[in-house]
Amino acid sequence: MGDQATEEDARVPKLPIQGKRNILITSALPYVNNVPHLGNIIGCVLSADVFARYCRLRGYNVLYICGTDEYGTATETKAMEENCSPQQICDKYHAIHKEVYKWFNISFDEFGRTSTRQQTEVCQSIFKKLLENNWLSENSMQQLYCDACERFLADRLVEGTCPTPDCNYDSARGDQCEKCGKLLNPTELREPRCKVCHATPQIRDTDHLFLELHLLKDKLEEYINEMSVVGSWSQNAIQATYAWLKEGLRARCITRDLKWGVPVPHEKFKDKVFYVWFDAPIGYVSITSCHTPEWEKWWKNPENVELYQFMGKDNVPFHTVMFPSTLIGTGENWTLMKSISVTEYLNYEAGKFSKSKGVGVFGNDAKDTNIPAEVWRYYLLTNRPEVSDTLFAWVDLQAKLNTELLNNLGNFINRVLSFIAKPLGLGYGSIIPDTAGAESHLLTKTLAEKVTKYVQQYVEAMEKVKIKQGLRIAMSMSSEGNTYLQDSKFWKLYKEDKASCSIVVRTSAGLIYLLACLLEPFMPSVSLEVLKQLNLPPETQLSICDENGDHEKARKPWEILPAGHTIGAPNPLFKALKDEDVDFFREKFSGSQADRQRAGDALGRRYGNRQQLKQLSVRMKGLFGRLSVAVIVLLICTVSLFSSMKGNNLSVERLQHVSVDDLWGTAASGGWRPSSAPRSDWHPPSESNGILRVRCNGGLNQQRSAICNAVLAARVMNATLVLPELDANSFWHDDSGFQGIYDVEHFIKSLKYDVHIVERVPEIQKNGKTKKLKAFQLRPPRDAPISWYTTVALQKMKEHGAIYLTPFSHRLAEDIDNPEYQRLRCRVNYHALRFKPHIMQLSDSIISKLRAQGHFMAIHLRFEMDMLAFAGCIDIFTHERATHIEEVSGRKFCREGACL
């Protein structure tokens, strides 16, 4: 379809084309030691595939490269576990990876591997250039040696306790802690142990080769400073990269005491192999050389080729610091990365995906559910962890399938095509009607303007690799189509105004074609099926190419399909996922893969025999006290500040030029006025489904955010909200409560059109006695999606009459597509939550005094580690204390890219 890379196309080598945009795309090479799980798939290959398909739609010349990373200790360890050779492991899992990605419709132009002759040749060639240019050094380093195994232990063959303060994870790997993400040397681990025999290894000296990264620092920083802006690097990539630079670059070992890897072409080190961090990124180049012997036209052609790279956040420094340094060090004209797109972690239900521990849904599992690949693609992409970790939840997958795909997209397409396919007298006999006067049809003209804007926004988002935003825009077009149909009342027009009905129907059919174009990168098989139902040949060139004038099609959607065209047979695109299926899958894929195998018989007994299991799986086709402390701190700091200023004439002189009126004036708004009022149909709350209690834990900001989320949770569940409880047992040990801080009457009155709110739990009559309604206690998942509240939480509320959610800080996802839900949060935060009069009066008095002095300051309500790290307020402490604070800042925050 379009310019999609088929297996036949892949046999024809692609080369850059002069005068066209040549886009070279790589996905981080997945380790070959296991089946890829959904977190791996969305983090690398699927995200890159969406961008590659988009680029092809735009008419760009694309080469999408990926393959399995096959060298290193991960492979050796897996070979030991399965009692076979590393090569056998690579052959086995390379085939599995290839099959999984094929099922997911990943359109690689070349999917290769690193255990090849080409990898050895390219890797050794780059090494020789680095050696020739004096960027390498020899040094002795300490390494763990296992006496029982009689070998030096590579990092992946060691595990122990993470040395990072506040982490102390007891299963950290020798190269990186999976919990906190810190890169490690095996000798840094506390209580290390050999993964092969579990003995305690000893430290010994061994000679290795190092890349002198610090000597390449100036050239590397020049590249990063320019390309991070030009290439619109994702923010998490920028933060991680500059955190590494801030720590200071140091010599990095590039050799290992292993047998499985690219051999080092150096007499002294001939018994060693290259370290996987040095070897693996070079795999992009060697895999390209397997695609075409003229690979240098891609990789040594920065004037005509743009390199886009996709990966998870743990791979960032290897691609933004180490790999560019390696290429720069050769002195050759390499194509360096222009843009990098980085994802955070996709977590699974209540825990983390883990290949090593077998936790989560893996690629072959997804296939075995018989849920179509396009549904998996859609769900993963709507849940793509672009700025923070996201959560995979079966109930959320069900909600997105049944609501967004089935009821939105599927409903619009099937509704239009089914109506066209009806026989004459009831429909159009499968013939696209003529549409004279469409330009003057007001409703259609309005739709065309919106669609044109959506297409422009889609292109802008995708050019910046904002994949989730691009998908959201495309689905908004589908929602607009449904609204257009409903507003037109086409079923009445067919009887009363056939000409207008024909305009609506033909315009909607054109909009379906546009949706097939925009959604092809995300759900290619769905687009192919839509073309089939439109009776357009499979080789139809889906395109949003400027050169073809495709943007003009959006301006006149009624002209996309010609009048008189015969459509194909309409069929539903999606099938609903039922509650019992969700229950089955949640239980089936709980725990680790080993746990699942042990639980298989029990699951069989619960759901019936093996045949029944198979049938089931296929069925799916006190703030006042706190404020007092804050006020005291504020007043003391204020007095101290201005007392010290009087004694420091230089400081006062420096500030005399500041215009106080300008300083305290309102920032220019450019004519915009903030509004959190609803902008579409927003019905008042109806009869309540039950009572909702929440306990807002955390600091002041977290509690305020939790209150906003509590109101939203009550709205989506149609529940009666009891005034939120504030955690009284944290740092402040204060029990002021909601009533002691906020204006309760104003809070309830402001939100009366949004939710029912009561001050206390209602009383009930039971056995002649009056009692408070007892609430069922429930712990929400962190950053739970809306669907969790409308399914799991709502079910418990209906069963028990009341639920108590605790704790309730960060328990509702921030990234919610529905703008009305976001506006409700704003109404709570900026309108409903108003402090009590005496608190407002006191705070206004303090601010007035600050402003009267002509200067301003900002304070934190208490000294915390993060406040000290950012503020740099160390002069007021003793030398010993100040030294400790600086150590904490560097150790805890700079490594996270947080220091300024």
pLDDT score, position 668: 44
> Hey, which residues does 348 pair with through a beta bridge?
351, 392
* Backbone φ, ψ for residue 340 (5° rounding): -130, 130
Which residues make up the CATH 3.40.50.620 domain(s) of the chain? 22-128+228-343
Of 239-248, 553-562, 811-820, the one with minimum mean pLDDT is 811-820
Over residues 674-682, the mean pLDDT reads 58
CA dihedral of residues 470, 475, 481, 483 (deg, nearest 10): -120
pLDDT score, position 672: 42
Of 139-153, 701-715, 769-783, the one with minimum mean pLDDT is 769-783
Please check whether residue 757 is in contact with residue 751, taking contact to mean a CB–CB distance below 8 angstroms: yes
Q: Above pLDDT 70, what percent of the chain?
A: 79
Q: In this predicted model, what pLDDT tens digit does every residue of 173-195 receive, in sequence order?
A: 888 888 887 888 889 999 999 98
Which residues make up the CATH 1.10.730.10 domain(s) of the chain? 405-566
> Counting every residue, how long is the chain?
900
d(CA 695, CA 721): 12
d(CA 600, CA 686): 44
pLDDT score, position 156: 78
More confident residue, 626 or 50: 50
Assign domain 691-839 one CATH number from 1.10.10, 3.90.550, 3.40.50, 3.80.10: 3.40.50
CA angle, 131 as apex, 129 and 132 as ends, to 5°?
65
Q: What is the pTM of this model?
A: 0.67
Over residues 13-21, the mean pLDDT reads 95
Burial of 564 (0-12, 13-18, 19+ CB in 10 A): exposed
pLDDT at 218 over 50: yes
Over residues 435-462, the mean pLDDT reads 92
Q: In this predicted model, what pLDDT tens digit does every residue of 361-415 receive, in sequence order?
A: 888 888 889 999 999 999 999 999 988 888 888 888 998 999 899 999 999 999 9
Task: Retrieve residue 634's tokens.
Answer: 């504020």
Q: Which CATH architecture has domain 22-128+228-343?
A: 3-Layer(aba) Sandwich (3.40)
pLDDT tier, 709 (very low <50, low <70, confident <90, very high otherwise): very high
pLDDT tier, 900 (very low <50, low <70, confident <90, very high otherwise): very low
pLDDT score, position 308: 97
Question: Mean pLDDT over all residues of the chain?
Answer: 83
pLDDT at 448 over 90: yes
CA angle, 414 as apex, 507 and 562 as ends, to 5°?
35
pLDDT score, position 642: 42
Query: What is the third-level CATH fold of 405-566?
Result: Isoleucyl-tRNA Synthetase; Domain 1 (1.10.730)
d(CA 405, CA 574): 7
Select the highest-mean-pLDDT range: 226-230, 516-520, 744-748, 778-782.
516-520
